[in-house]
Amino acid sequence: MSVEVDTYLAALRPDQAAALQTLRGLIKRLLPNHIECLSYAMPGFRQPGKNGKMVAGYAAFAKNCGYYPHSGNIIPQFAADLTGFKTTPGAIQFTPDHMIPDALILRLIDARIAEIAAKGR
């Protein structure tokens, strides 16, 4: 676990910190060999290696939290699964009371990893 991320989470409201700590744990389980870091001032996970690409990020704001696949191509693929969430091509907003389902996080991460692999070919 990253001290920078621990510091980031410790500065949040308790409900947001708990929600993002849960999301952090899920992503860590799904990406056990990835590097936890801060990117664009938000916690996330990047692929291992010198030029590892960001796979998933998350952050807290005044009224919500956000999930970021670090690509504008991923979230639009899952529009039908994201009813009830405010989205942009690069972000999904959620609250501690209305988290993104774990199974959907898995699918978002899988899509991002596949996108990175396809670009690397």
CB atoms near residue 86 (< 10 Å): 11
Could you give the domains of the chain?
3-119 (3.90.1150.200)
d(CA 34, CA 1): 11
- Is the pLDDT at 1 greater than 90? The verdict is no
- Across the range 68-73, mean pLDDT stands at 96
Q: Which residue has the tokens 């910190």?
A: 17
Write down the pLDDT at residue 121: 59
Sheet holding 86-88, edge to edge: 35-39, 42-46, 54-60, 65-68, 91-94, 86-88
CB atoms near residue 27 (< 10 Å): 23
**pTM strictly above 0.85:** yes
